[in-house]
A = this chain, B = another copy of it.
Amino acid sequence: MPGRTWAGTTLDDRKAQRRGQLVAAGLELLGTEGSAGTSVRAVCRHAKLTERYFYESFTDREELVAAVYEHVGEQARQALVDAVRDAPSPLLRAENAVRAFVELIVDDPRKGRVLLLAPLTDPALTRRGLHLLPVFAALVGEQLTHGDETDRQMTAIGLVGALSNVFIAYLDGSLKVSRERLVAHCVKLVLGADDH
C-alpha cells in the first residue's frame, strides 16, 4: 500500500517526483533540441532515470510529449488569466496579456518554443490535433466585435499567427528589438485586429 514509506517518502511521492523530472527533461529537450532530439532515451538520460521509470509514468513517447505540451500550455493559460483579471480597460487587458506572454517566453524561451513550434513540428502533437493555439484564438475571437462568426474566426487565426511569428522571430534572434517595443507592437496588433 502507498502508506508504506521508503527513504522517508511514500512510493507515490517518488513516482510523482520522477514523473516531474521526466516532464522537466522533456521540456528542456523539446525546447532546445526540438522534436527529433526528444527521444525516450535522451529524456531518461537527462532526467537521470532509466527507461523503466519512463514507462512507469507514460505508456508512450507520445504521452510524454503531450504531457510536456499541456504542462506548458497550462502555465501560459494561467499567466494569461492572471494578467487579464481586474484589468479595467480593453487596452490594459491587451497590454497585460501581451506583457505576461512575453515575460513567460523571455524568461524561458524553451517554453515559447514548445508552445509555438512543437505543435507544428512534432508528429505526436500534430497527429492528435493537439493545438492550444486554436483555443487561444477562440478566446481572442470572443473579444472581437466586427463581422460575423466566420470573420471573427479568420481574424483570430490571423492575429494568433501574426503574434506567433513575431515571437518566433524574436526568440531566434532574427528580430532585434527591445522587449518594450516588442510588447508595444504586439499590443498594437491585438488592438488593431478588430477595426476593419
Contact = CB atoms under 8 A, between A and B. Distances in A.
How many of these chains are in the complex? 2
Given A36-B123, A188-B196, A192-B196, A166 B158 contact: yes
Contact of A161 (B163, B181, B182, B185): B163
Contacts of A35: 121
Contacts of A196: 188, 192
A16 interface: no
A186 to B, nearest CB: 8
Interface residues of A, number: 36
A160 interface: yes
Interface in A115-164: 117, 120-121, 123, 126, 134, 150-151, 153-155, 157-164
A166 B153 CA distance: 10
A87 interface: no
A158 B120 contact: no
A160 B158 CA distance: 9
A122 B182 CA distance: 27
Contacts of A151: 185
Nearest to A150: B177
